[in-house]
Structure 1
């Protein structure tokens, strides 16, 4: 069974109603991104940051996977599909995808500000009253700007083993995630789905750009993939 590795970004979730900050002059739900997604923002106003992610967590109850998510899940019947996502929502999992690696953390988890390995599943509001077992503040389990990306090495390992690589709904502007496709083996076919695809250079692979939304692009790509299995 051939291995498909997918790098997904905010574009695929936008179709489900989750807003992206790059489409709004750097604002994310009305906030400067550094106010709510940086260590400095956390240190300056933890209450604002906690409220912001509490609202995002509530939003997940009202959004659902779209056709792009669903097709990726359905492809597991024919391929070994691994999804590397820059998204912090759980829409890939809701659609049925089994192997999902979150590069930038997960909205439905929180972790200790002292012990990065103390991580809890979390559905409700998080406040300054929530502490870990040693009394240290809990925070959103999100990789903020300026922080290390712990999952990047595993993501690179997945990319290196891909028989087919798909990029979907990402501007390829956020590093180190944007560099993952450059770790694929030479001659590995790469398909890039995005209505406004970024320029991709210095790539030793055949690249096909599909300038459509995630759902429309995956409907087109599914037929191509079934001929490659």
Structure 2
């Protein structure tokens, strides 16, 4: 869940187990822990995607690419490149991907499929790569972003075709019998090919991201994450 992912990120950034602090802020040792981490840029990208800071994610990618003068790509650079591919779709989805059309062929998915589908597929591809820490962070983000997509669908559609829902959520027919109920949908009365929101449903996940206030229940950790991100961005740290 979100709390576990936040713990994981904070632990990675500090190089130690996350403990409650009386100050609530990021210590110098925590920041230096990120600096000393071989995969600092991967941790930073995970922070930024979780927080919905896609413009900062782009700056991170560009800075890392310009600072990496090696003629051969190292493991961290390869993982960051894969992470950035997913981040691009996160940004496109967040800024208007809902307008994508379903009237497409599988042969031209980059221009026809919804950005939510491309985003989730890209993150899932990172999971299946088994490259660490990319795979672990991407696995958590797949779940988080799927609930974010679902939250937008529920606020945008009073009625949606089942196949469109499955596509936008990047779900398959073997996702489970109660996949609709899991995300707060039910079949429309009189039309089993359409879904309608179940108004009684409450999301088990704080969707957050992109300025959404839903993460306020975990405000202290979000504040800590924000401090780490802002410190790294302000100092233009070379990961």
TM-score bin, normalised by smaller chain: 0.3 to 0.5
More strand by share: 1
More helix by share: 2
TM-score normalized with structure 2 length: 0.33
Q: Highest CA radius of gyration, 1 or 2?
A: 2
